[in-house]
C-alpha cells in the first residue's frame, strides 16, 4: 500500500512513521508513506500558502493554487487513488472506513491548517473528506496519523498474527472483551478460571459474553447493529432485565 501525505509540517510524522509496527511495515515493503511539503508548490517569493479570508473574519485560509498544484502533481495520472481531505466537515472515521481505505492500493491524505482550505480545493481536487471526531485540531496531521495507523494494521502481514485484525472489537461490532496475562493473581485479583482451563470453546463463549456485557454498559448504541446469535440475544435480554431490576 502507498500513502501520500500533503502537509506544511512533514517532520510531524517522524515519530509515528519511524517506530514499532509502522516502521516495520515500511521496512518489509508492505507500506510506503511519502510526505510532500505543500510550500514547495508555492510560486511567490514569500512562499505564501495562506491568506486572509474574503468577507473578513479572524484567522487565515489555505490558498487554492499551491494546494491544487500539489495534489495534481502528487496524484499524477492515477485517478484511482482517493484524495482525502482531513476536516471536521468530513464523514466520521470508523473501523468500517478503515477497512474500506485498506482495500485501496494507494490513497492521498491532505492536511489542512489555519481556519481551513479555500472551498475551491474541494471542488477541484478532493474526492473524499474524513473527520476523526467532532472537535477542532490545529491541523489535519494528527488525523492523518490516526488514519494511517488504523489502515496500516489491516494490511495482511503488518500485524504479527494474521487473525489479529479480524478479532478487532469494532470489526466485530462489539467492544473488546477483557484481556488477562501473567501473573494469575494480582493483589488478590485472580484471572477468570475459564481462561486457565484450556477449553477453547468455553473461552470463546466467555469472551463474546464479556464483549456484549461491556458493550451493553459503555456503548449500547453499538448493539443495534451488532451481529449476535440467538443465545447471545437471550444473554443480552438477561443483562437488560438484571439492570432494570437493579434500578427499580
| Site for ligand 4FV contains 132 (CB under 6 A) | yes
Given 6, 116, 154, 212, the residue binding ligand 4FV (CB under 6 A): 116
Active site residue 183: no
Would you say 150 or 174 has its CB closer to ligand 4FV? 150
Grid cell listed for 190: 485472580
Contact region with ligand 4FV (CB under 6 A), list: 108-116, 119-127, 151-159, 192-200 = 108-116
Active site residue 168: yes
**Sign of the torsion angle spanned by Cα atoms 227, 233, 237, 242:** negative
| Site for ligand 4FV contains 145 (CB under 6 A) | no
Count residues near ligand 4FV (CB under 6 A): 16
Active site residue 44: no
Contact call for residues 30 and 2 (beta carbons, < 8 A) = no
| DSSP state string for 61-82 | EE-HHHHHHHHHHHHTT--SS-
Active site residue 209: no
| Site for ligand 4FV contains 86 (CB under 6 A) | yes
Please pick, among 153, 209, 213, 219, the residue that the annotation labels catalytic: 153
For 132-152, b/e burial (b = at least 16 CB within 10 A) is beeeebebbbebbbbbbebbb
Residues recognised as catalytic: 88, 115, 153, 168
Amino acid at each position: 500500500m502507498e500513502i501520500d501525505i500533503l502537509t506544511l509540517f512533514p517532520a510531524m510524522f517522524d515519530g509515528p512513521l519511524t517506530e514499532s509496527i509502522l516502521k516495520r511495515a515500511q521496512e518489509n515493503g508492505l507500506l510506503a508513506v511519502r510526505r510532500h511539503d505543500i510550500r514547495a508548490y508555492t510560486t511567490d517569493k514569500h512562499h505564501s500558502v495562506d491568506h486572509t479570508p474574503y468577507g473578513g473574519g479572524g484567522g487565515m485560509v489555505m490558498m487554492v493554487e499551491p494546494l491544487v498544484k500539489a495534489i495534481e502533481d502528487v496524484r499524477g495520472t492515477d485517478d484511482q487513488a482517493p484524495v482525502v481531505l482531513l476536516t471536521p466537515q468530513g464523514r466520521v472515521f470508523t473501523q468500517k472506513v478503515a477497512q474500506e481505505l485498506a482495500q485501496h492500493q494507494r490513497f492521498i491524505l491532505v492536511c489542512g491548517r489555519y481556519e481551513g482550505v479555500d472551498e475551491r480545493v474541494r471542488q477541484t481536487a478532493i474526492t473524499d473528506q474524513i473527520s476523526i471526531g467532532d472537535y477542532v485540531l490545529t491541523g489535519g496531521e494528527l488525523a492523518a496519523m490516526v488514519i494511517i495507523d488504523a489502515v496500516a494494521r489491516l494490511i495482511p502481514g503488518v500485524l504479527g498474527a494474521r487473525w489479529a485484525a479480524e478479532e478487532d472489537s469494532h470489526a466485530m461490532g462489539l467492544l473488546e472483551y477483557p484481556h488477562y496475562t501473567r501473573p494469575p493473581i494480582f493483589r488478590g485479583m485472580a484471572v477468570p478460571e475459564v481462561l486457565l482451563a484450556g477449553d477453547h470453546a468455553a473461552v470463546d463463549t466467555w469472551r463474546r459474553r464479556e464483549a456484549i456485557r461491556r458493550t451493553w454498559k459503555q456503548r449500547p448504541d453499538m448493539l443495534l447493529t451488532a451481529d449476535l446469535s440467538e443465545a447471545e440475544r437471550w444473554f443480552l435480554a438477561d443483562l437488560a432485565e438484571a439492570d432494570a431490576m437493579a434500578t427499580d
